[in-house]
Every structure is written in structure tokens, then in C-alpha cells.
Amino acid sequence: MKKTVEIVWIVLIVLTIFAYLLGKLHLASGFMVGVLLFTTLIKGQLVIDYFMGMKNVSWGYRLIPTIWLFVIISSIAASYYL
Amino acid sequence: MQKSVTLKEPYPPGDFAIWLVIYVELITFGLMFLGYAYSRHADVALFNKSQLLLNQTSGFIDTLILISGSYFIVKAVNLVKTAKGKQMIVEANQKASKWMLASILFGCLFLVNKILEFSDIFGQGISLDTNKFFMFYLLLTMFHFMHVTLGTIILFNIFRRTKASAYSAEDSRGIETGAVYWHLVDVLWIVLFPLIYIIR
């Protein structure tokens, strides 16, 4: 039996705990911000693909939220590091 | 050797109009996120100092609530999307209504948690004009709060329709429309949480 949605949910929870621990342990600066933003990109894309159901939609529509997410995360990273 | 080919759906799930709303919301929140990020770049010390007054645990709980609420809705949608035949439609809608009720409860939990967080912030004498960090924090989180409120009302209407066994494999447009709106609210928070509460 396929458990894709359950796996996605668990990955989202684990990555959220990771982000929280970075904050609590005062590690969310420097290089780790890049790691944190990358995990945020993964979380957003998982919700877009598997919760919104865009994985099975034609590329034209699927790319719109994906490009939005990539541009926003990249711009946040640029504002942090540049 | 057999090779399975999955055909792509030509259009995204839900009503076309909700996608127009989603695109507008993505642009609006996107500009606010960038406004925050570049304002922070201009005054890192102020943003880091102000951020210490936020409750990271509250933001963390909010994220878990939204992600789990989204998961419950996916379960409800998947149930009704495969329901064919009168008996199966009734059973699927009854099960879906329980998932929807759980997602509504989680939506309400988010709102209560946020109200507690706002009352704590306002209790410290902080307002929109305290400084640029709190202007962005309050604008973004309150704007998002309004979206969760609307999303919860939409979920409640879907819940009522599942109670009436209104959705099936042939007619799942309504539940899918409400679901994608909720997932949008989820995606926005997924970016907002590390940006405002965590990154230093």
C-alpha cells in the first residue's frame, strides 16, 4: 500500500524540528542559514507536489509555484550572504 | 518488460478562480518576504535584537499545526476522489468529514496560539511603529492570520458538504478548491517561519 503522503508528512515534521533546533541552539547563522533555506525549499516543494497535487499536473502549471518558491528562497539567501 | 506511463493532468486541482487568487497571494507575500529580507540586510543588528523578543516555540507549534492540518485535508480529498457508487460515496464522505473536522480543529488551534502570541507581543508594549522588524512581523503574521481564518471557514463549509455526502470521484472540485487554498496558506507559513523566527 502506498504511503507517500504519510512519508511526506513525516519528512515535513522532521525538517521543521530541525529548523526549530537550529533556532533554539543558536545555530541559525552563517553557513547553516543556507542549509536551513535549502530544507525550506524542500518543504515548500513537497507541499506543492504532494499536498497540492501538482506532481501530476502539466509542467506549465506546476512550474509557477515552483519558480516562485525558488526565486523567493534564492533572494532571501542573496540578501543574507551578499 | 512493462513500463507504466502516468499521464499528466492538463490543469491543476480545484477551480481555476482559486488559482488566480493563489498567484496574487504568492506575489503579495513574496514581495513582503523580500521587503523583510532586504530591510534586515540594511539593519541586521536591529532585526537580530528584536527577533529575541519572539517566541520561537510558538512559531514551531504553528508550523506543526499547519503541516498536520494540510495532511488531514489530503487524506479527506483522497477518500472522496476515489469514491464511486452510492454506498462507497456515503462511506468515503463520512470518513472524509472526520479528517476535515480534525483539520478545522487544527486551524482553530493555530488561531488560538497566534492570539496568545499577539497578546504577549502587545503586552510588551510592541506595536507596528516600534521598529521596522516589528512592522514586518506584525504585518506578515496578521495578514497570514487572516488567511488562516478564511481557510478555516472554507474548511468548515467543506465539512458540512461531506456530512451531506456531496463529494465523489465525479464531483470533487469543491473540496479540491478549498484544499489547495489551505495548502497555499501552509506553503506561505513554511517560508515565513524560518525567515522571521529562526534566521539570525
Report if residue B126 sits inside a domain.
yes
- Are A57 and B186 within 8 A, CB to CB? no
- Are A47 and B75 within 8 A, CB to CB? no
State the smallest CA–CA distance between residue A66 and chain B in angstroms: 11
Q: How far apart are CA B97 and CA B137, in angstroms?
A: 35
Q: How far apart are CA B116 and CA A20, in angstroms?
A: 19
The tally of domains found in chain B comes to 1
Q: What is the ipTM of this complex?
A: 0.96
Hey, of B56, B74, B172, which one would you mutate to test binding to chain A, going by the most A CBs within 10 A of its CB?
Answer: B74
B64 closest CB neighbour out of A13, A71, A75: A13
Report if residue B27 sits inside a domain.
no
Return the pLDDT at A1.
46
CB A20 within 8 A of CB B56: yes
Q: Rg of the Cα trace of chain A?
A: 14
Residue A9: CB atoms within 10 Å: 21
CB B99 within 8 A of CB B73: yes
Query: Tens place of pLDDT for every residue, chain B, 200 residues?
Result: 455 566 788 899 999 999 999 999 999 999 999 999 999 999 999 999 999 999 999 999 999 999 999 999 999 999 999 999 999 999 999 999 999 999 999 999 999 999 999 999 999 999 999 999 999 999 999 999 999 999 999 999 999 999 999 999 999 999 999 999 999 999 999 999 999 999 99
Residue B4: CB atoms within 10 Å: 4
Mapping DSSP onto H, E and C, the string for B38-85 reads: HHHHHCHHHHHHHHCCCCHHHHHHHHHHHHHHHHHHHHHHHHHHCCCC
Residue B195 corresponds to which cell in the numbers above? Answer: 525567515
- pTM to 2 decimal places: 0.95
> Buried b vs exposed e over B26-54: b needs ≥16 C-beta within 10 Å?
beebbebbbebbebbeeeeeebeebbeeb
Residue A37: which of A82, A2, A71 has the closest Cα? A71
CA atoms within 13 A on the CB side of A44: 29
Q: How far apart are CA B178 and CA B74, in angstroms?
A: 11
Residue B189 CB partners (closer than 8 Å, separation 6+): B62, B63, B66, B144
- Are B12 and A69 within 8 A, CB to CB? no
**Is some CB atom of chain B closer than 8 A to the CB atom of A2?**
no
**Is some CB atom of chain B closer than 8 A to the CB atom of A40?**
yes
What's the one-letter identity of residue A13? I
pLDDT in tens, A37-78: 999 999 999 999 999 999 999 999 999 999 999 999 999 999
The distance of Cα B90 from the centroid of its chain, to the nearest Å, equals 28
The residue whose grid cell reads 521598529 is B131
Q: How far apart are CA B144 and CA A45, in angstroms?
A: 19
Range of the domain at B65: 55-198
Q: How far apart are CA B47 and CA B30, in angstroms?
A: 19
User: Which residues on adjacent β-strands are paired with residue A57?
Assistant: B9
**Is some CB atom of chain B closer than 8 A to the CB atom of A76?**
yes
The residue whose grid cell reads 515552483 is A66
Report if residue B145 sits inside a domain.
yes
Q: How far apart are CA B127 and CA B138, in angstroms?
A: 8
The pair phi, psi for residue A30, each rounded to 5°, is 60, -135
